[in-house]
Amino acid sequence: MDENTYPNAPEIGNWNRLLEGRVAVVTGGAGGIGGAISSLFAEHGAHVEFIDSDAEAAEAKAASITKAGGSARAHVGDVQQFDIVERFATEVLRAHPSVQVLVNNVGDYRPLSRFRESTPDSWKSMFDINLFHMFAVTRAFLDPMIDGGGGSIVNVHSVEGLRGYPGDPVYGAMKAAAAAFTVDLAVGMGRHGVRVNGIGPDLTQTAQVDYIGTSVGHEHLWESWAPVGRVGWPEDQARVALFLASDLSAFVTGHNIPVDGGTKAGGGWFWSPTEQRFVNRPKGL
């Protein structure tokens, strides 16, 4: 085969600046996983345009990135609202005709409820916070990304969309839909130079963890819940997002990576310190 039949793999360049010169858009980019992604992307040379519904947190994140020598601009708004998404996209694209990276990070457990007690309003809320914005933001930036020569989209959903989740089937269904959207879009957009991948976090130490009651008082159980023996941190998710956003993953598209400390691989099995064996029910841990 002629060695010139196919182009060479992309040059990585400076491994300490993997996103040098690129524009990255991050939703929910002020705190938690999104905040870690914004900071890490800026550290690796991207100019980050992020949006968050918390104005104070957004201002603080932009200031911290700038202080560290990075480049970022904060936008305040709720991407569950289509007019806010359109305004955000207009503001970003006015300054940058194309973007090379998009991270759809927004998502939430709330309103967490058992299905038999759930309501149509709660179903709609789950759709809006976990899926609607992913469609709206992606559509807003997809054509400019293609026109600019391509790029990478990273969808943050949940490991609960990649396995059975009895805690809230509606939440699990929305996350599964986000994972499917990731794969479907990747197949269609690859020939346009756009890669699409997803990450599925499990228990990660953010404000959500306190809300669902798995933080305070449960620290001693973390080593039993995940095969790696600890809870996840936002930086764990951000590093995988960086891999997927950069040319390190130039031949990776259409995949959903569980960033879960091995909980999906464990299939619901827990290590019992009291029994010194794996059990499939956490009783007595």
Which residues form the catalytic set? 171
Residue 200's nearest CA partner among 107, 102, 80, 101 is 107
Cβ count near 282 (within 10 Å): 14
> What does the block give as tokens for 38?
């914004």
Cα–Cα distance measured from residue 29 to residue 70, given in angstroms and rounded to the nearest whole number: 14
Sheet of 256-259: strand order equals 71-76, 47-52, 23-27, 101-104, 151-156, 194-201, 256-259
Quick one: which of 194, 199, 243 has its CA closest to 33?
Answer: 199
Contact of 53 with 29, CB cutoff 8 Å: no
